[in-house]
Amino acid sequence: MTTHYFNNSENRLHNELFGAEAFYDLDTTGNQAKALTKIVEGDTCVVATPQGKLVRFSRYIFRRFALQKDGADKQVQVLFGDLLDSHLLSKAEAAIDIDYGVLFDKKGNFKRASVHVDPARSNMIGERFFGEIPGVPVGSTFDSRIALSSAKVHRPTQAGISGAAKEGADSIVISGGYEDDQDLGDEVVYTGHGGQLNGKQVKDQEMLVGNLALVVSEMEGFPVRVVRGPDKNNSFSPPSGYRYDGLFRVDSHWHEIGKAGFKIWRYRLVKLQAEAVPSEISGVGTEGLPTGENSNPVRKSQTVQRIVRDTKQAKNVKMHYGHACQVCGTRIMTATGPYAEAAHIRPLGAPHNGPDTSDNILCLCPNHHVMFDFGAFSIEDDRSLIGIEGSLSIRPGHRIDIKHLAFHREKYSNRAK
Amino acid sequence: MTTHYFNNSENRLHNELFGAEAFYDLDTTGNQAKALTKIVEGDTCVVATPQGKLVRFSRYIFRRFALQKDGADKQVQVLFGDLLDSHLLSKAEAAIDIDYGVLFDKKGNFKRASVHVDPARSNMIGERFFGEIPGVPVGSTFDSRIALSSAKVHRPTQAGISGAAKEGADSIVISGGYEDDQDLGDEVVYTGHGGQLNGKQVKDQEMLVGNLALVVSEMEGFPVRVVRGPDKNNSFSPPSGYRYDGLFRVDSHWHEIGKAGFKIWRYRLVKLQAEAVPSEISGVGTEGLPTGENSNPVRKSQTVQRIVRDTKQAKNVKMHYGHACQVCGTRIMTATGPYAEAAHIRPLGAPHNGPDTSDNILCLCPNHHVMFDFGAFSIEDDRSLIGIEGSLSIRPGHRIDIKHLAFHREKYSNRAK
């Protein structure tokens, strides 16, 4: 659900002018009229009304609008909805507020626009739209990169990755441009960009622009639209043109020496299961919000940032360490027992296919598990840590295969970049 | 894949007796013959051979067996496979080994049995089988609790929860026995056991036996078989008898005052999506192991221990804190940027339906996120922490709704038990 901001700078009393539940009114023509077409029932609306040196921010759930005449006998579109809450803040407070700061410019002054749609409260970050494009179902096809761009599915007409370092990546095109790509259908091993000349890898790839954007999407859990282009060597490719194949999450990234002998960045993307996500969330469907709930999350507003897997061997290793982290010794206690996570040194699944055996598993606290998976530290054969201080604690009876440690150092360590 | 252990106490030289790749032989009748019927291609076999005061442990991937005659002209079943690795350990070392300790009794002596299937290396923990029962597909129906028990789908004939505190819970039956249960199909809110008399709740439930077992399954990510029994008030129930409805994971647990006025434990279970899990793993299918791989995890050997969700509001809150934890100040840095998690104070989704708004979100490190979700700490209205030392850091511009803090204290805090 998008959040819309309205600057009630004239301090109009909408209740008195238009009746109960009225909270704002807009011109029937011009920019204000256009703004209204973007509102749907259930959206959040924030109305900011100056009160002396303070500003009152009132949040409403939009229900409907109606054409009415205002005090000056002018025809206006009136917005009606349910009041959620109301806060009286100084401008200094409001300017740094998570929810209301968007209404102020860098100097702390009220923005002039009377209607403002907050991009960060929709699926937008900057001009970038994350998630499924409305009206473009999975399987939609496009004749050309231009058509794909016009439909906003993948905006760059040349680059394979649509993204910026600070915003994340919103889409990629798989089209056989990189000899190291692997396509398994619901899993894709995708090669980063850069270092190519006339279709050949001629130098190392760097962790910049689109390559970095894909990592941001991984760390934040942003969904990435995957488009497949023509590629006679890929059985998952469309026979011609471009096909939108759904939302994927970036599961992991690493570096390696590609077939041409230069360093490349690689990304494992896994398809987000449309069936799986809704089952964990009670969507509001089309009936709008249930009574008494502030803001019930809809199905598409959530994606997965991180999945921690359990395996058969996981419990054995965790028990062996009494659920204490092999890096910091932390043992997370809850009322019902200790909690730890099993980290596979060489990752499970394609393309790495690490084994689920105790010699490939560490017992870590969640913090060090995240750091290990993102390559913030790696482990030498002598157990000393690379990237952070300290050494890995290994209890007698736990043999770790140093081949797996070498694999992690080589592919994941940040220091090896 | 199950691991099988073989005690080669007679120090037979299988290669010399039976040819290359032979690693063990078994009687064609009696207990040893039965053991063999449980082995399938791809299973791991550990052969322990005494060598003076030491023991050599050799691991093989089982490929096939053949009937051959041994040195004494006796017909035996010979096992053939690929050698994985080999370790020479003292008995003292072996007795505490994660992988080989199972071959020794509590005194450190070699177990007499020459064939041993390690329950912890299969889907078994103790006598408890986790996951789908072979030959019992989702939708299978049973006339009675006795039939359900005989099929090993849910072994207790009275109790709703099959489980023990140290092992976890492997199955539950939903049959309308508790007035507080909620069944949404793929999501179930299930009430713990205890405190009932003649079908009425007459006292508080305690965190013991099955109630604790369900929490262990939650913390370790063990799958729980869900069976539905007859209940005319539940549209998801079978018209008669009992139906196996698939594997669920325990998503969360909390306590509350039930309709009868007594404390009850409640569990949210979410169906594991069969389609979702395999897509993240490259299964080995029926062809056995790919060449060159030690032990490729099969599809059913993994379940989910923990899912961290991303939401629209998550990034705003994390940015506001520069990805530093509001409890400990930790800011996890990776080469490509900081990592933090957004914790919803009142959980998203049914039955709590917490809103995805900044006043319901904290920025936490993964460790404190786990602790908060499991109720290891809770937060007072004045920001001080309950359960651990310290107080919540709140930056100007982030308003937290104390109603949500109260909700978490009331339902999740371990101290409120």
Other Cβ atoms closer than 10 A to A67:
9
Give the model confidence (pLDDT) of B379-389 as tens digits: 999 999 999 99
In a domain, A281, yes or no: no
Both structure tokens of A192:
């980063």
pLDDT on residue A416: 47
CB of B16 less than 8 A from some CB of A: no
A370 domain-assigned: yes
- Alpha-carbon torsion, ordered A274, A275, A276, A282, to 10 deg: 100
B188 - beta bridge partners?
A: B183, B269
Tell me how close the Cα of B385 comes to any Cα of chain A, in angstroms.
15
How many helices (DSSP H) and strands (DSSP E) are in chain A?
A: 9, 25
Question: Same domain, yes or no, for A92 and A140?
Answer: no
* Strand ranges for A208-241 from DSSP E: 224-228
Q: Is the pLDDT of residue A255 over 70?
A: yes
How many domains is chain A partitioned into structurally? 3
Query: Could you give the C-alpha distances from B387 to A324, A340, B253, B372, B379, in angstroms and in order?
Result: 19, 19, 18, 10, 9
Neighbours of A227 (CB within 10 A): 24
Please name the residue that has the structure tokens 């508790």. B178
Check residue B386 and give its pLDDT: 95
Q: Which of A122, A107, A233, A239 is nearest to A181 (CA)?
A: A233
Closest CA to A303 of A126, A131, A120, A187: A131
Question: How far A244 CA sits from the closest chain B CA (Å)?
Answer: 19
C-alpha to C-alpha distance for A383 and A61, rounded to whole angstroms: 56
Residues A103 and A155 in one domain: no
Torsion from C-alpha of A101, A104, A105, A108, nearest 10 degrees: -90
Closest partner residue to A220 among B184, B207, B310, by Cβ? B310
pLDDT (tens digit, 9 = 90+) per residue, B28-62? 887 777 766 678 888 888 899 988 889 999 989 89
Residues spanned by the domain of B355:
312-416
The residue from B239, B256, B271 where one domain ends is B271
Q: Are residues A144 and A116 in the same domain?
A: no
**Residue A165: per-residue pLDDT:** 85
The last residue of a domain, from among A222, A243, A271 = A271
Same-domain pairing of A265 and A364: no
DSSP A133: P
- ipTM at complex level: 0.80
In a domain? residue B50? yes
Residues A233-247 have a mean pLDDT of 93
Q: Which is more confident, A80 or A40? A: A80
Cβ atoms of A327 and A385 within 8 Å: the answer is yes
d(CA A214, CA A209): 9
- A349 and B282 within 8 Å at the Cβ level: the answer is yes
Q: Enumerate the residues of chain A whose CB falls inside 8 A of the CB of residue B301.
A: 311-312, 356
- CB A77, CB A34: distance < 8 Å: no
**Residue B283 confidence (pLDDT):** 30
Question: Which of B98, B120, B365 lies closest to A398 in CB terms?
Answer: B98
Asked if residue B299 has pLDDT above 70, the reply is no
pLDDT at B177 exceeding the cut of 90: no
Q: Is B335 on the interface with A (CB under 8 A)?
A: yes
Query: Residue A226: exposed, middle, or buried by beta-carbon count in 10 A (0-12, 13-18, 19+)?
Result: buried
Binned at pLDDT 50, 70 and 90, residue A310 comes out as confident
Q: Same structural domain for residues A158 and A105?
A: no
- Average pLDDT (B11-33) is 86
Beta-bridged to residue A142, according to DSSP, are: A242
Confidence of residue A296 (pLDDT cuts 50, 70, 90): very low
Percent helix, strand, coil in chain B, to 5, is: 20, 35, 45
Report d(CA A165, CA A130) in Å as an integer. 15
Using one digit for the tens of pLDDT, what is the confidence trace for B305-336?
888 888 878 888 998 999 999 999 999 998 88
**B309: contact with A, CB 8 A cutoff:** yes
Q: What average pLDDT does the structure give for chain B?
A: 84
Q: Which residues contact B406 (CB under 8 A, 6 or more apart)?
A: B381
What CATH number has the domain bearing residue A215?
Answer: 2.30.280.10
Q: Which two tokens stand for residue A252?
A: 């992991």
Contact residues, chain A, for B305 at CB < 8 Å: 308-310, 314, 341
Least confident of A62-76, A291-305, B21-35, B251-265: A291-305
Whole-number Å distance between alpha carbons of B279 and B283: 9
Q: What is the CA radius of gyration of chain B?
A: 26
Decide: A311 and A350 in contact? Cβ < 8 Å.
no
B82 and B153: one domain?
no
Tell me, yes or no, whether A140 and A265 share the same domain. Answer: yes
Tell me whether residues B305 and A341 touch, CB distance under 8 A. Answer: yes
What does each C-alpha distance from B374 to A334, B122, B215, B341 come to in angstroms? 6, 28, 9, 15
Q: Do residues B298 and B284 lie in contact, with contact meaning Cβ atoms separated by under 8 Å?
A: yes
Residues A144, A257, single domain; the answer is yes
Tokens of B176: 């309308």
Q: Is residue A295 part of a domain?
A: no
Instruction: Note whether residue A346 is domain-resident.
Output: yes
Is B310 near chain A, with CB under 8 Å?
yes
- The whole-angstrom distance between A59's CA and the closest CA on chain B is 12
Are A161 and A226 spatial neighbours (Cβ–Cβ below 8 Å)? no
CA distance A357 to A376: 23
Question: Which range (A208-222, A228-242, A302-316, B55-69) has the least confidence?
Answer: A302-316
Shortest distance, CA A226 to any CA of chain B (angstroms): 16
Question: Tens digits of per-residue pLDDT, B215-268?
Answer: 999 998 889 999 999 988 888 999 999 999 999 999 999 998 988 899 999 999
A29 CB within 8 Å of a chain B CB: no
> Domain holding B106: CATH number?
3.10.590
Best of B57, B88, B98 to disrupt the A interface by mutation (most A CBs within 10 Å)?
B98
Predicted confidence at residue B166, as pLDDT, reads 81
How far apart are the C-alpha atoms of A371 and A408, rounded to whole Å?
12
B415: closest CA of chain A, how far (Å): 9
B32 and B109 in a common domain: yes
Is residue B276 assigned to a domain? no
* B281 falls within a domain: no
Q: A412: helix, coil or strand? A: helix
Say if CB B192 and CB B264 are below 8 A apart. yes
Domain-ending residue, one of B94, B122, B150: B122
For the segment B283-311, the average pLDDT, to the nearest whole number, is 49
* Rounded Cα distance, A81 and A87, in Å: 17
Asked if the C-beta of A150 comes within 8 angstroms of chain B's C-beta atoms, the answer is no
Residue A348 per-residue DSSP state: S
Q: Are residues B155 and B91 in the same domain?
A: no
| B147 and B249 co-located in one domain | yes
Please tell me if residue B87 touches chain A, with a CB cutoff of 8 Å. yes
B282 and A CB contact within 8 Å: yes
Q: Assess if residue B11 is contained within a domain.
A: yes
Residue A148 has pLDDT above 90, yes or no: yes
Residue among B99, B303, B398 whose CB faces A310 most closely: B303
Find how far residue B129's CA is from the centre of its chain. Answer: 11
Residue B293 has pLDDT above 50, yes or no: no
pLDDT level of residue A281 (50, 70, 90 thresholds): very low
Report whether the peptide linkage leading into residue B351 is cis, meaning its omega lies within 30 degrees of zero.
yes
Phi-psi region of B194 (alpha: psi -120 to 50; beta: other; left: phi over 0): left
| A159 and A267 inside one domain | yes
For an interface test with A, give the residue of B187, B309, B320 to mutate (most A CBs within 10 A). B309
Q: Which of A249, A367, A412 to mutate to test the interface with B (most CBs of B within 10 A)?
A: A367
Higher pLDDT, B132 or B340: B340
User: Between B273, B310, B313, which is nearest A303 by CB?
Assistant: B310
pLDDT band at residue A346 using 50, 70 and 90 as cut-offs: very high
Q: Using an 8 Å Cβ cutoff, are B181 and B193 in contact? A: no
- Nearest-by-Cβ selection for A310 from B122, B222, B314: B222
